[in-house]
């Protein structure tokens, strides 16, 4: 009975066109999911250059972003409209997408040939269009790097609210009468950040977003509680630009750098790109994916977003893993494709499959040990631990001091494994029972510096033998196999077959489970830093990255306090060459203690 009702819903959704359109559904369900009923080989491939309404490159013409489209031909012939799966990216020409760094390719006549990743191969035969958009100034787009404007322009075009053209500079107008107005935006890293930015813009037509390893707060990505991660001019988007944009976008990029500032203050520029703070504007459902060991986009980008969505009452789902900066497709491929399929069916075809009522979080607690949970973080209680001068980490305030000499050549893995004057280490007694830590820790640091500035680096470490995903330093936690598996249909120039992957394991004596960084001069507020008075103590509290891990019985928890983390900060930043003295009686860490499952 339930399946019959879903099919009836599909029939009612058919766009009114020819008489045939009124008697045939756009999609067909079997076992509750849409089926591959359309020819991928005969799919329509085309490009629209869509006006964004801006002139960021200042050439006197409205910027146009290139939207490469692949859509099933059969519904179009019947006058039926289809939903869109969209990925907006700056990487289609410079760097590629996915584990195999796939790039867009084009036939001699300019029509798009290879659509990176599996979305086109798998979803087009099921009645979806796939639209891959070149972010402004990249690949075949004009303009400059303006992620939300680039993506939203194409959504407006799909909904008949923006102008599109059949060429980069011509006046040959094209429309998207084949689109039914429903858009799902998916993507990893920068692409995922764009999806989040589009969602918080509240644009009409975006029904769901699937950000993977994505930034939700650009201030927190580039600046850690007042401490800039990179030297001026070393970040940004210039490496993704096409040759035209590399020249024309210099003023645009410089203006953004000027607005961002170099002092680490959270100013108006950073507030506008704090998407998590705008979660109340989200109209779409959200399915987020992130790795706890992601060094490119630290997991705090997920935790602040997830918490903000919860406060805003947004329908949300998450996959959390112990890997680094990787696609969910390369973690649990069959389950990921099946889950994403049902998610898009639910929000783009309006199939009432109940996925939003299933456990909200799919969580990897240890390598290949996955559990489902109704909420995250797990219920528990905060536990505060204090370091002491004897090197202990205990449940009562300690005493004494610790001295650290800043050394920007040493990173957190060396802090954790080697004795050094660049850090101080404090360890607990062996854990009497296995203990789960789930959520976000925070540290309170009281310290003085012999110079007018000081960077703080903190790590929470699980000390004890373990087998973990190989994620340090900047490893992904996955490895490629010698086989391929296929996900969808094929045609010359665009294969659905991808290298299989497996968990990359390594035996370790410690695991860093949470991290944090800060500028001590921002002790009072991230909005305004101040020069330190040498020798004067300052107290600062800030959160660490989120975690979900089980610390086995017999292991010890370690708290590391240090200065500049070489793994996290650009080596071209000015050296501080300062010595810090930590007041241990007024230094502590509060960790999220949860029940062990």
- Residues known to be catalytic: 189, 294, 325
Q: Which of 420, 565, 568, 439 shows the shortest CA–CA distance to 514? A: 439
Ranges assigned E (strand) in 135-191: 164-165, 173-174, 179-188
Q: Are 186 and 270 in contact (CB under 8 A)?
A: no
Q: Which of 387, 405, 403 shows the shortest CA–CA distance to 443? A: 387
Which are the contacts of 568, defined by CB distance < 8 A and separation ≥ 6?
224, 229, 295, 411, 412, 457, 515, 517
Residues 225 and 222: their CA atoms lie apart, in Å, by 10
Burial (0-12, 13-18, 19+ Cβ within 10 Å), 311: exposed
Q: Are 218 and 300 in contact (CB under 8 A)?
A: no
Q: Which of 356, 318, 314 shows the shortest CA–CA distance to 336? A: 318
Token reading at 39: 């020819």
Which are the contacts of 60, defined by CB distance < 8 A and separation ≥ 6?
none
Write down the number of H helices and E strands in the chain. 12, 31
Q: What are phi and psi of 583, to 5 degrees?
A: -85, 100
| C-alpha distances in Å from residue 105, one per residue of 67, 97, 133, 342, 453 | 13, 13, 13, 29, 49
Q: Are 469 and 366 in contact (CB under 8 A)?
A: no
Which are the contacts of 581, defined by CB distance < 8 A and separation ≥ 6?
401, 402, 403, 447, 448, 449
Ranges assigned E (strand) in 393-470: 393-394, 401-405, 423-427, 435-449, 455-469
The alpha-carbon radius of gyration of the chain (Å, integer) is 25
Element housing 196 (H / E): helix 190-200
Per the listing, tokens 């389950």 go with 335
Which are the contacts of 392, defined by CB distance < 8 A and separation ≥ 6?
398, 426, 427, 428, 429
């Amino acid at each position: 009975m339930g399946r019959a009702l879903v099919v009836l819903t599909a029939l009612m959704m058919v766009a009114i066109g020819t008489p045939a359109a009124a008697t045939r559904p756009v999609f067909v369900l079997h076992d509750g999911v849409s089926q591959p009923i359309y020819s991928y080989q005969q799919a329509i491939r085309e490009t629209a250059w869509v006006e964004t309404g801006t002139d960021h490159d200042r050439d006197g013409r409205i910027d146009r972003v290139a939207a490469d489209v692949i859509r099933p031909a059969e519904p179009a012939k019947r006058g039926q409209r289809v939903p869109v799966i969209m990925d907006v990216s700056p990487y289609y020409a410079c760097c590629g997408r996915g584990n195999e760094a796939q790039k867009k390719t084009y036939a001699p006549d300019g029509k798009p040939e290879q659509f990176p990743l599996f979305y086109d191969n798998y979803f087009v035969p099921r009645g979806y269009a796939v639209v891959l958009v070149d972010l402004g100034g990249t690949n075949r787009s004009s303009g400059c790097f303006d992620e939300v404007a680039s993506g939203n322009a194409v959504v407006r075009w799909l909904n008949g609210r923006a102008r599109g053209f059949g060429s980069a500079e011509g006046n040959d107008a094209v429309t998207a009468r084949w689109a039914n107005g429903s858009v799902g935006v998916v993507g990893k890293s920068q692409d995922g950040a764009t999806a989040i930015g589009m969602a918080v813009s509240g644009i009409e037509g975006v029904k769901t977003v699937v950000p993977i390893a994505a930034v939700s707060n650009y201030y927190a990505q580039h600046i850690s509680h007042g401490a800039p991660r990179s030297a001026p001019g070393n970040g940004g988007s210039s490496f993704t630009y096409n040759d035209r944009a590399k020249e024309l976008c210099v003023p645009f990029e410089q203006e953004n750098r000027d607005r961002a500032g170099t002092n680490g203050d959270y100013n108006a520029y950073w507030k506008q790109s704090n998407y998590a703070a705008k979660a109340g504007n989200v109209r779409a459902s959200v399915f987020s994916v992130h790795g706890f060991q992601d060094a490119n986009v630290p997991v705090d980008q997920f935790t602040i977003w997830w918490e903000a969505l919860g406060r805003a009452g947004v329908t949300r789902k998450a996959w959390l893993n112990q890997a680094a900066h990787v696609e969910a497709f390369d973690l649990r491929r069959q389950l990921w494709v099946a889950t994403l399929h049902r998610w898009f069916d639910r929000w783009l075809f309006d199939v009432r499959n109940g996925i939003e009522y299933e456990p909200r979080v799919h969580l990897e607690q240890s390598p290949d040990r996955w559990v489902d949970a109704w909420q995250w973080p797990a219920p528990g209680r905060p536990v505060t631990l204090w370091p002491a001068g004897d090197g202990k980490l205990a449940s009562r305030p300690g005493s004494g001091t610790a001295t650290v000499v800043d050394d920007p050549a040493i990173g957190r893995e060396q802090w954790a494994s080697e004795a050094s004057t660049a850090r101080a280490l404090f360890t607990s007694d062996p854990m009497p029972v296995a203990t789960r830590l789930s959520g976000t820790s925070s540290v309170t640091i009281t310290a003085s510096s012999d110079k007018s500035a000081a960077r703080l680096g903190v790590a929470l470490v699980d000390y004890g033998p373990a087998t973990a995903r190989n994620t340090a330093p900047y490893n992904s936690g996955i490895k490629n196999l010698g086989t391929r598996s296929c996900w969808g249909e094929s045609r010359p120039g665009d294969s659905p077959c991808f290298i299989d992957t497996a968990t990359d394991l390594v035996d370790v004596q410690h695991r860093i489970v949470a991290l944090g960084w800060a500028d001590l001069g921002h002790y009072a507020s991230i909005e305004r830093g101040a020069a330190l008075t040498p020798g004067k103590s300052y107290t600062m509290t800030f959160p660490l990255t989120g975690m979900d891990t089980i610390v086995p019985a017999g292991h010890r928890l370690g708290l590391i306090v240090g200065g500049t983390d070489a793994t996290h900060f650009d080596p071209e930043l000015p050296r501080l060459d300062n010595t810090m003295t930590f007041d241990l009686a007024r230094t502590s860490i509060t960790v999220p203690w949860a029940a062990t499952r």
